[in-house]
Amino acid sequence: MDFIFKPRLNTENLVPKWLLESMHEKALKILWENGIKITNKTLLKRIESHEGFKVEEEWVKIRSDIIEDLVTENRQKHGHKHLEEDEKPFISPGYPGCSWIIDVDTDCVEPLTTSKLIDATKLMDSLYDYGVRGGAPGAPVDAHPRLRRIAQCLIGYTFSRSAGPAPFESYEEAVYIKRMAEVMDQSFGADIYVISPLRLEGISLDRALPFLEMKECKWFSVSSMPLAGFTAPVYPVGAFIQGICESLGGYAILHEAYPDISASFSIGAYHCDIRHGNIVFGSPEQTLMDLFGAAINMFYGNPFYNVRSFRTVAKNVDVEAQIEKASSATVGALTGSGTFIHAGLLSIDEIFSPVQLIIDCELARYLTRLANGLKFTEKEMEVSVNTVLRCAKKGQYLTDKTTLSDYRRIYWIPELLDYSLFHTHRPSPNIIEKAKKICKEKIREHKYELEEPKRRKLGEIYREAEKNLL
């Protein structure tokens, strides 16, 4: 018999069902006694007369059986699926919101201008064989504020084969981003965030509602970002209970209002440093919250998702960045398959670093090898016995045919790390210098070109936006 030793954290089984059920009951209580606040008149009008929803001065209370039915439906729809184990690293910058970049030559943090963004996007695309997927990692700050996200979308599609629609902050710019996505034969949807505590309002809702009203988006998703001790109870259990309320409550309201549009939800909670007023990605608490979030989402029937997080609050390519990225991504890799997210990003998602992206690719390959485990097969057992009988008297296995043919298949060979010892080491560029060299080579060798008809259509859409929005 064959066996593969894969180190895994079974997150689902680590959380007792009684705890999840108790948290669910507390969330239902809050949704009926307190509800979700809605100030948008269009949305209020759509649900005010619906059975199971009670409106009291902009607070929408939701009857428990409505939530229970939606949860049952969600569990049946997804069938509690786990993602398949991946064999190769899949790396993404995640939310592409950067406004700054660390220059490869000067190591200084500089504004992310159009020319710098084009080079950064070329780098993203040129690392396709490394497993990197994504478009422009931010918006060009030298473009007009009303055109920045549209320009980001244009640059992403033009210079990266795996680009998707850029994030948008207003309905006006989203109209043009949607049209660009259609040129690229991509679906268009909207992420809607319930503002903590318990408010279905704000930018994400305002930019999505016109599309929902006109049925011009294929899907929408609902989630929230409760910050423990800041916009949610300081206790992790309390922050997650509020997160359940916000995601399920917002999902129930929008699902009821727009039943013909595909919808989903996800639940999370976040560690906040009250001294600085921000999320602390890369902290031990956030890594634990990510893991617990995976378990609680599976409880509600969502497919298993895993956070192989490269997120960090470090502002430079320094020791803090590597500690936070490596620790959280390692835990994620040992939990199961998933995408390495926020590659190349620093200060959560304010700064893009080409050098950090190369280091993150190395770390992703390292952790993928770790997660793939060790194979123990009947065939290799038999071959090993014969090899010992053949080589033991010679005193070495280095020149044996088994070593020569299978070493590179079994053992990962790093590109940046140096496995030599001090007494055998020869002077060579350090990791940062190696990464810089790779960055420059990859940008210089970039070859992807978007086909001319699509490039022309995207240009026309951008010029139209320029004319109408300025």
d(C-alpha 152, C-alpha 51), whole Å:
43
**335 pLDDT exceeds 70?**
yes
Contacts of 463 (CB under 8 A, 6+ apart): none
Residue 84: count other Cβ atoms within 10 Å of its Cβ: 8
What is residue 305's predicted lDDT score, i.e. its pLDDT? 73
Range 95-104 average pLDDT? 96
Instruction: Give 402's contacts (C-beta < 8 A, 6+ positions apart).
Output: 383, 387
pLDDT number for residue 11? 80
Question: Domains of the chain by range and CATH?
Answer: 1-376+414-470 (3.20.20.480), 377-410 (no CATH)
Query: How confident is the model over 15-20, as a mean pLDDT?
Result: 95
Q: What's the confidence (pLDDT) of residue 394?
A: 92
- Tell me the per-residue pLDDT of 365-393, one tens digit each, with 9 for 90 and over: 999 999 999 999 999 999 999 999 999 99
What tokens does 21 get? 């059920």
Report the predicted TM-score, pTM, of the whole model to 2 decimal places.
0.93
How high is the pLDDT of residue 207? 95
Is the confidence at residue 429, as pLDDT, over 70?
A: yes
More confident residue, 338 or 84: 338
pLDDT over threshold 90, residue 88: no
At 168, the pLDDT band (50, 70, 90 cuts) reads very high
Cα separations (Å) of 443 from 237, 357, 389? Answer: 46, 13, 51
In the predicted structure, residue 284 carries a pLDDT above the cut 70: yes
Would the pLDDT of 84 be above 70? no
Contacts of 243 (CB under 8 A, 6+ apart): 224, 226, 232, 267, 268, 269
At 424 the pLDDT is 87
| CA angle (346, 289, 267) in 5-degree steps | 100
Question: Sheet holding 219-224: strands in order across?
Answer: 189-194, 219-224, 262-265
Count other Cβ atoms within 10 Å, centred on residue 444.
Answer: 10
Q: Which residues contact 306 (CB under 8 A, 6 or more apart)?
A: 83, 294, 332, 335, 336, 337, 338
Query: Residue 156 has what pLDDT?
Result: 98
Residue 276 in tokens: 């600085």
- DSSP state for residue 128 in the 8-state scheme: G
C-alpha distances (whole Å) from 465 to each of 99, 129, 470 are 21, 34, 8
Ranking 320-334, 383-397, 417-431 by mean pLDDT, the lowest is 417-431
The rounded percent of the chain whose pLDDT value lies above 90 is: 86
* Beta pairing, strands 189-194 & 345-346: unpaired
Mean pLDDT confidence for 444-448: 96
pLDDT digits (tens, 9 = 90+) for 228-280: 999 999 999 999 999 999 999 999 999 999 999 999 999 999 999 888 888 89
Comparing 442 with 84, the larger pLDDT belongs to 442
Give 415's DSSP letter. Answer: S
Range 178-189 average pLDDT? 97
Any idea which of 73-87, 131-145, 431-445 has the lowest mean pLDDT? 73-87
Question: What percentage of the chain carries pLDDT values higher than 70?
Answer: 98
Q: pLDDT at position 87, please?
A: 67
Rounded distance, CA 214 to CA 259, Å? Answer: 13
Q: Does pLDDT of 349 surpass 70?
A: yes
Contact criterion met (CB below 8 Å) for 103 and 89: no
Q: What is the identity of the amino acid at 30?
A: I
Residues 6+ apart with CB under 8 A from 148: 139, 140, 141
pLDDT for the residue numbered 79: 64
Give dist(CA 344, CA 88) in Å, integer. 18
The β-bridge relationship of strands 351-352 and 345-346 is: antiparallel
Cα separation values, 69 from 17, 59, 64, 235, Å: 19, 21, 9, 29
Q: Residue 14: what pLDDT? A: 86
Residue 208: phi, psi to the nearest 5?
Answer: -90, -35
In this structure, are residues 130 and 357 in contact, taking their beta carbons and an 8 Å threshold? Answer: no
CA dist 402 to 196, 306, 397, Å?
A: 59, 36, 8
Q: How confident is the model at residue 445 (pLDDT cuts 50, 70, 90)?
A: very high
311-327 residue pLDDT tens: 999 999 999 999 999 99
Q: Which of 313, 358, 310, 326 is nearest to 104 (CA)?
A: 358
Residue-averaged pLDDT of the chain = 94
Segment among 9-13, 115-119, 213-217, 447-451 with least mean pLDDT: 9-13
